Amino acid sequence: MNENTKFVSKEEYDALERELVDAERKFYANLEVLEEKMKKLSTLQKLSQLVFETRDLEVVFDKIVEFSVNVLEVEKTLILSLNEDGKFKVLNHKGYSRKIKDKISNVIIDPSNKYIVKLAANKEVNLVKDVETEFSAELGLCQIILCPIFNDKGNLSVIYVVGYSKDNLSTYKGFLDDDCNYFRLITDQITLAYQNISFTKNLEKLIKDRTQQLINKSKDIIVMLENLPQGIVSIIQGMIIHKEYSAYTEKILEVNDLAGKDAISLLFDNSSLGPDAISQIETRILSSIDEDKLNFELNGSSLPVQIIKKVENGDEKILDLTWTPICNHNNIIERLMVSIRDVTTMKELERLNAGQKKELEVVGKILNMGSSSFENFISKAHEYLSQNEKILKNNADLDNETIILLFRNMHTLKGSVRLYDLSSLVDTIHEAEQRYEDLRKNADAWEKNVLLKDLEVIQEKIFEYNEIYQNKLASVLKNPNIVSMQLETFEKIVTAIEKRNDNEFTKIVKNSPNLKCFSDAFSDILNGLASLAKSLEKERPTMVVHDGNVFFVANKISFLEDIFTHALRNSIDHGIETAKERISAKKAPAGTISISVRLENNKNLIFTIEDDGRGLPMKKLREKGVVAEIFKRDEIIADEDVAQLIFRSGISSAEKVTQISGRGVGMDAIKGMIEEKGGLINVEFLDKSTKGDDFRQFKIVMFIPNDNIAYKIT
């Protein structure tokens, strides 16, 4: 026996045994209570699941009263709802006699009842003991559990649970705390059920509305696709056409049943695109569909926007293509939409309109020139171009003198073109002139075929002008009686001379359409100065003409027109400043060009031209003379000798070469034309020389033999 063994007395043993028996009894009692609670909880769980899943609260209320009566052993249960009139009405009940049931079915419980007011205030499950109710006479005192339920709109409903004894009042036992907890769980579940039902109804309504909207939208899209006068297709994975496309696409492409067809073949077979271009398009589309939108943004600009496609009947159509990615919510491209517009008719109308617009522009230029001026221009243009063509064809090599002649002809022609504002010819002639300029720098680098091609292009454009004139204007502008009128005038002049009738002679000459004063004879040149000044961003110059009563024979002044074209152009470009520069120098914004005409002894024509511009740039001309090795840097040169440099080929006073001047040809051309007629040209200064002058005022003086060109009439 262990020395630690302890012996107890019989009394202690009996007491210990009683404790064990009592503990066993309590254990089984608690186990029974626990089993009962588990049963209730199981039932409550099923009820909660029902509440959560159901959309029919009447079924829920039936189960609640059944649970309270059968499981919680409550004698009576009511479920009340607060109506819009502010009264509570019985929704469900159980456990009442037939007599009481009939009474309950019509009863309206006052919401001002102190228990219900308390319930509405604290929104908690309330247990009220020893309550006297409207049924106390029959049933006696009771306990009440009040359970608030708030629907989705916040309106109050109440589970009104009344507890009585099963047998009689002497055995009344009352509610337990767990009973309140059960109903608390139930009311929470019902509140959630209200919310779920409300959410489900709202969701169903939303889904229904959205579904209807989608149906309507789909109908609208279908109607649109059936009636839209434009091709719309979508390219999906597999490079095929989606089933939804506009009906008009079939008309454009002249192909039926497009759904499922190969997109590349449908759009680009028999088109203006080559195999390599089509292959690149296919690659770019493949790299876009089912990929992030960024891929399309990187490659989409390379997709064609216009093609020419031959359709089944052999017609060629010009199609405009617009590419649009259709993306899902993750910005992944699901399909590529292509909008197709047949612009064949529109392009043809644009072409015709452009042609008509160009023709109207040419007509306007010719009308502005007048018939005689235009014919004179055509004649001179043909003369210059023919001379250049003959030189180019008959020479294997070009010497410097020949190059200067070629250049001078083209430069003079360009001057006439600018004077008459024939803008479509300017750039073409300027490009040809630039090639001659290059030849002046390197005579061995010429390409005969290129220069001849330039002449051909210019001749074609001038031919277009002349064709419009001959077909549209010549018959209108030409007076059929001019020849006979001129003959009649000539006969009158002869008669007047024979009779030595000076007054009659003067009258006849002044009225003769073939004899004109300077302003009339050279009106085209003078009028053209406005557009020339505008192109140089200068104000239109004021023209002052002293004609000396000299009249010119209209058909003999062609070479004079070329001379004054060059001279006046140089005056505006080199001499006269911009309005801003003139204002800074305290001058009027617009410059003034003065021309005087004299006829000495009916033998020599003397013209002077001067302007109020900055003057002749002496310092710049001296430097150019040194660079050209005409002067030595330390050599003392008279201003008169420096001024003669303006007549040297390749030397210009301009700051830079433009389409108008700066190549050192204008004054050289004038000198050549005057000397060809046996005349002279010179520079005369209008101011006194000061050593080192940067600019000097001057005038150009031209002496030209009068070979029946002009007459002085007083």
Phi and psi at residue 144, to the nearest 5°: -130, 135
CATH number at residue 315: 3.30.450.20
pTM: 0.41
Residues 29 and 128 in one domain: yes
74 bridge partner residues: none
Q: Confirm if 680 and 569 have CB atoms less than 8 A apart.
A: no
In a domain, 222, yes or no: no
Q: 28 and 95: one domain?
A: yes
Q: What is the pLDDT of residues 668-683, one digit of tens each?
A: 888 888 888 888 999 9
- Phi, psi angle pair for 112, to nearest 5°: -80, 0
The one-letter amino acid code at 458 reads: I
User: Number of structural domains, the chain?
Assistant: 4
Integer Cα distance of 591 and 271 in angstroms? 59
Read off the pLDDT of residues 183-238 as tens digits, 9 standing for 90 and up. 777 777 777 766 777 777 777 788 788 877 776 666 665 656 566 677 888 898 88
pLDDT digits 0-9 by tens, 359-400? 777 777 777 777 777 888 888 888 888 888 888 888 877 777
Residues 530, 651, single domain; the answer is yes
Residues 241 and 180 in one domain: no
- For residues 553 and 514, the answer to whether their CB atoms sit within 8 Å is yes
Secondary structure (3-state) at 607: strand
Residue 213 located in a structural domain? no
Cα atoms in the Cβ-side hemisphere of radius 13 Å centred on 335: 15
**What CATH number has the domain bearing residue 473?**
1.20.120.160
Q: Which residue ranges of the chain lie beneath pLDDT 70?
A: 1-8, 33, 36-37, 40, 43-44, 47-48, 50-57, 69, 71-76, 78-126, 128-144, 146-147, 149-178, 193-194, 215-228, 353-356, 445, 472, 474-513, 652-666, 690-692, 714
**Residue 360: inside a domain, yes or no?**
no
Give me the domain span that covers residue 469: 376-478
What is the reported pLDDT for 532? Answer: 84
Task: Give whole-number Cα distances, 689 to 65, 600, 603, 686, in Å.
Answer: 129, 30, 33, 9
Do residues 645 and 562 share a domain?
Answer: yes
Q: What is the CATH number of the domain that holds 678?
A: 3.30.565.10
For residues 190 and 263, membership in a common domain is answered with no
187 and 241 in one domain?
Answer: no
- Do 146 and 106 lie in one domain? The reply is yes
- Assess if residue 365 is contained within a domain: no
The pLDDT value recorded for residue 593 is 93
Tokens of 91: 């929704």
Distance CA 625, CA 21 (A): 142
Residues 692 and 571 both lie in one domain: yes
Between CA 79 and CA 495 the distance in angstroms is: 138
pLDDT value at position 396?
A: 74
Q: Measured between alpha carbons, how far is 111 from 84 in angstroms, rounded to an integer?
A: 12
Residues 570, 617 share a domain: yes
204 within domain boundaries: no
| Residue 484 belongs to some domain of the structure | no
Instruction: Look up residue 178 and give its amino acid.
Output: D
For residue 357, being part of any structural domain is answered with no
Task: Provide the b/e sequence for 682-691 (b: ≥16 CB within 10 Å).
Answer: ebebeeeeee
Do 195 and 235 lie in a common domain?
no
Q: Give the pLDDT of residue 525.
A: 84
How far apart, in whole angstroms, are the C-alpha atoms of residue 291 and residue 299?
12
Helix (H/G/I), strand (E/B), else coil: 326: strand
- Check if the beta carbon of residue 47 is closer than 8 Å to that of residue 67: yes
The three-state DSSP-derived secondary structure of 328-362 is CCCCEEEEEEEEEEECHHHHHHHHHHHHHHHHHHH
* Same-domain status, 294 and 441: no
Specify burial of residue 430 (Cβ count, 10 A radius: 0-12, 13-18, 19+): middle
Q: Is 453 inside a domain boundary?
A: yes
Closest by alpha carbon to 336, among 298, 279, 301, 293? Answer: 293
